[in-house]
Structure 1
Amino acid sequence: MHPILKVDISELSVSERIQLAEDLWDSILLECDASEFPLRESQKQELDRRLGLHRQNPQQGSTWEEVKQRLGFDK
């Protein structure tokens, strides 16, 4: 167990560990400037490609809720 934590992470359920990871990541992002995480040109191009596909057909794809349900995280 990491000394900063009051619980053994391995005792948490998968959904609790995912939530912990999300909370940790959110806490990091709140303290950082986006310029501290520069994107490579290939990453920018991929994001632009995906945004273009979405704009061409905004109904295609899944909502976050649908993805969580399909992966079994809604239980």
Structure 2
Amino acid sequence: MILETMPSLRQLPPNEKRLLAEELWEKADAEEGEVTVDASVLSLLEQRLADHAANSQSGSTWEEVKSRVFGRRAV
């Protein structure tokens, strides 16, 4: 965790922790378009999309997935 690598953050008073969180959030929002995806992950996603396009009936509906995951509790 970040606090383990930067222990001085633990010493900040609550208001400074909030300010730091706000600054980090704003910086992350500003850089959102700069997110990079690992080439192997991108390749896998492209392959899965191509597989789906070739056989779109092979997947499961959201309702089917919920039923498998949640059983009878699915909504």
TM-score norm. by structure 2 comes to 0.49
Q: Which has the higher contact order (CA 8 A, sep 6+)?
A: 1
TM-score norm. by structure 1 comes to 0.49
Larger Rg: 2
Q: Which protein has the bigger helix share?
A: 2
